């Protein structure tokens, strides 16, 4: 049992009676205190670290820290430090998140107190809590952590600061610095946690790619067509793709130079693209294996715009549907498969007619399935190059197509290209 083990470790660390520690621990856990927090508060109760009598957690190199450690003392260089406001137990807390490194490795940390951390400083964190996140250890710097700044700085084989390119950003990244062009930007009023509030949302671009963003505290510098430098942004997943979050703690500066936006999207194997868990801008090439049900001429609910069956919306019941066109097709390149979703415009192109043409074809045949059938005949079995937004969830991988074109590289040309690569 975990509690028993933790009590034993703690008792031997602190040099106190195991039964006593266990009873205390049990008590805290019964009050729903997470076990790690309970261990921390017992360390405080039994005077850990203050006596110097073997109570302080041992000093460890970053690479040695494991999720099994309950707390450690560690010395390292602050690589990044980003402030963020979170709502915890009903009130707002400002936390600082980032990475800390020594010669052996780097580790994520969260500071629950304002220690004044900033990049390139060398610190010793005494009695830093360790928790597990995604199988990796993370440091929790809190009340019971004693933090000191060292004058002598440590040399570490890691980049200091959060400079990044959009293509490198991943969900969970903190304290990033980017220089981007604002490709799209609109002001929206949302029903936030403190009532109605204005936010900006849109798309950033740089040499490496594009990513959607939300600016929670609208910065006047962020406007369509402009270029900005943003310090201390963080990345969170939204609708299956990473999104740049610009908060009240981010610094936004207008740049007086243009940021080139790369036109080359990363072309990826479908398997690799799906494995990323979502990419805002990606291109894949594959064979179109099938056109799924719910393609062709469809009807949408006028209220929620979801696709309806036989005039019935799952949420709004009997409704007067709006006619629309779309395609959901399975694209496979041998490494994986995605469902490519074509909007009305792309569907008109592959169908070779307008919505009116589709309605007329359906009326003549007295069956709207004929539209999907026509599309099937035109695209199944061919190879397509598709660029768009890939989102992945428990129902599968969807690629919302921005462009959809028959692949011009025929197999013979690809074989030649492959041979040239081998030669080189």
The binding site for Zn ion (CB under 5 A) comprises: 301, 303-304, 313, 315-316
Neighbouring C-beta atoms of residue 138, cutoff 10 Å: 19
Q: How far apart are CA 102 and CA 107, in angstroms?
A: 9
Report in angstroms how near the CB of residue 310 gets to Zn ion at its nearest: 14
For the record, the structure tokens of 89 come out as 């137990």
Q: Residue 238: CB partners within 8 Å, gap ≥ 6?
A: 212, 214
Q: 267 or 312: whose CB is closer to Zn ion? A: 312
Cα angle for residues 322, 328, 330 (degrees, 5° grid): 175
Q: How far apart are CA 123 and CA 78, in angstroms?
A: 7
Q: How far apart are CA 55 and CA 126, in angstroms?
A: 12
Q: 253 or 315: whose CB is closer to Zn ion? A: 315
Q: 78 or 301: whose CB is closer to Zn ion? A: 301
Q: 107 or 301: whose CB is closer to Zn ion? A: 301
Q: 222 or 301: whose CB is closer to Zn ion? A: 301
Report in angstroms how near the CB of residue 305 gets to Zn ion at its nearest: 7
Instruction: Please report, for the chain, how many H helices and E strands are present, in that order.
Output: 8, 22
Q: 196 or 318: whose CB is closer to Zn ion? A: 318
Q: 54 or 311: whose CB is closer to Zn ion? A: 311
- The values of phi and psi at residue 269, to 5°, are -65, 145
Report in angstroms how near the CB of residue 338 gets to Zn ion at its nearest: 26
What number of residues does the chain have? 424
Burial of 297 (0-12, 13-18, 19+ CB in 10 A): buried
CB 111 within 8 A of CB 128: no
Beta strands 227-238 and 176-192 are antiparallel
CB 251 within 8 A of CB 345: no
Burial of 388 (0-12, 13-18, 19+ CB in 10 A): buried
Report in angstroms how near the CB of residue 324 gets to Zn ion at its nearest: 13
Report in angstroms how near the CB of residue 317 gets to Zn ion at its nearest: 8
Report in angstroms how near the CB of residue 313 gets to Zn ion at its nearest: 3
Nearest residue to the partner Zn ion, using Cβ: 301
Report in angstroms how near the CB of residue 291 gets to Zn ion at its nearest: 24
């Amino acid at each position: 049992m975990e509690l028993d083990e933790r009590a034993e470790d703690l008792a031997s660390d602190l040099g106190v009676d195991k039964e006593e520690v266990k009873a205390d621990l049990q008590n805290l856990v019964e009050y729903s205190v997470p076990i790690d927090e309970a261990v921390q508060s017992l360390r405080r109760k039994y005077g850990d670290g203050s006596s110097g009598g073997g109570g302080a957690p041992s000093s460890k190199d970053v690479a040695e820290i494991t999720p099994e450690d309950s707390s450690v003392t560690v010395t390292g260089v602050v690589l990044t430090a980003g402030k963020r406001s979170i709502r915890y137990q009903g009130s707002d807390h400002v936390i600082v998140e980032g990475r800390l490194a020594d010669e052996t490795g780097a580790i994520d940390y969260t500071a629950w107190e304002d220690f004044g951390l900033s990049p390139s400083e060398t610190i010793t964190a005494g009695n830093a809590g360790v928790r597990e996140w995604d199988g990796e250890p993370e440091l929790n710097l809190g009340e019971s952590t004693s933090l000191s700044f060292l004058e002598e700085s440590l040399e570490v084989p890691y980049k200091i600061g959060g400079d990044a390119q959009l293509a490198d950003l991943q969900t969970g990244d903190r304290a990033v610095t980017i220089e981007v062009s604002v490709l799209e930007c609109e002001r929206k009023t949302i029903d936030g946690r403190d009532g109605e509030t204005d936010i900006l949302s849109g798309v950033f671009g740089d040499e490496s790619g594009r990513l959607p963003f939300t600016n929670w505290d609208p910065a006047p510098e962020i406007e369509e067509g402009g270029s900005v430098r943003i310090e201390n942004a963080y990345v969170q997943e939204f609708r299956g793709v990473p999104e740049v979050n610009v908060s009240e703690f981010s610094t936004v500066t207008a740049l007086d130079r243009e940021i080139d936006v790369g036109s080359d999207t990363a072309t990826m194997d479908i398997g690799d693209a799906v494995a990323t868990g979502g990419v805002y801008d990606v291109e894949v090439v594959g064979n179109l294996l099938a056109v799924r049900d719910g393609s062709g001429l469809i009807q949408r609910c006028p209220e929620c715009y979801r696709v309806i069956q036989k005039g019935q919306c799952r949420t709004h019941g009997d409704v007067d549907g709006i006619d629309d066109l779309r395609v959901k097709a399975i694209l496979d390149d041998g490494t994986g498969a995605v469902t490519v979703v074509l909007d009305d415009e792309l569907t008109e192109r592959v169908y070779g007619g307008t919505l009116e043409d589709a309605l007329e074809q359906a009326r003549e045949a007295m069956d709207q399935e004929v539209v999907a059938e026509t599309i099937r005949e035109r695209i199944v079995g061919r190879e397509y190059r598709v660029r768009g937004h890939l989102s992945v969830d428990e129902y599968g991988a969807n690629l919302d197509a921005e462009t959809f074109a028959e692949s011009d590289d025929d197999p013979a040309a690809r074989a030649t290209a492959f041979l040239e690569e081998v030669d080189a």
